[in-house]
């Protein structure tokens, strides 16, 4: 089982690092671990973040990992107050059969995450259109 820790990733320029600080460790099944990038925004509600929760299905043959990443857009009103006006959201779920060999699980996780991080997929999501 992984220990809760900060996560460092590249920003959009693919050069600059940004840290997602470990805020809340999971207390067990169904309770999410929470990370926030505290260097973005002027209040906690303005910070982008990631949640990750895991659980077993009814008979224990599958472990599910559910995640959500959110990135708020803020705006400054004429009175100087800052509020969230939009939120970009990415969420998903993994279903990992517990009878699958660890080498196959490792390969599935690596290939899916690498596909999602590929230039083609990133460009398509940024543009809002699937490749044609």
Using the 8-state DSSP alphabet, how is residue 14 labeled? S
- pLDDT tens per residue, range 64-76: 999 999 999 999 9
The structural domain count of the chain equals 1
* pTM for this model (two decimals): 0.88
What is the structure's pLDDT at 68? 97
Domain presence at residue 91: yes
Task: Please tell me whether residue 55 adopts helix, strand or coil conformation.
Answer: strand
Domain presence at residue 76: yes
Domain presence at residue 62: yes
Indicate if the pLDDT at residue 20 is higher than 90: yes
Which string of DSSP letters, residue by residue, matches 65-79? Answer: EEEEEEEEEEEE-TT
What is the structure's pLDDT at 109? 95
Q: What region does 128 belong to: left with phi over 0, alpha with psi -120 to 50, or beta? A: left
- pLDDT tens per residue, range 23-62: 999 999 999 999 999 999 889 999 999 999 999 998 999 9
Any idea what the CATH number is for the domain that residue 38 is in? 3.30.380.10
Task: Please tell me whether residue 127 adopts helix, strand or coil conformation.
Answer: helix
Domain presence at residue 44: yes
Domain presence at residue 132: no
Indicate if the pLDDT at residue 84 is higher than 80: yes
């Amino acid at each position: 089982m992984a220990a809760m820790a900060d996560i460092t990733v590249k920003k959009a320029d693919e050069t600059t690092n940004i840290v997602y600080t470990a805020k809340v460790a999971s207390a067990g099944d169904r309770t999410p671990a929470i990370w926030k990038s505290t260097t973005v925004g002027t209040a906690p509600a303005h910070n982008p973040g990631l949640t990750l929760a895991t659980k077993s299905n009814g008979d224990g043959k599958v472990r599910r990992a559910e995640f959500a990443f959110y990135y708020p857009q803020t705006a400054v009103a004429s009175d100087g107050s800052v509020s969230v006006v939009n939120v970009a959201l990415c969420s998903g779920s993994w279903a990992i059969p517990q009878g699958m060999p660890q080498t196959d699980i490792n390969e599935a996780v690596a290939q899916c995450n690498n596909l999602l991080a590929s230039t083609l997929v990133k460009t398509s999501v940024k543009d809002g259109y699937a490749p044609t």
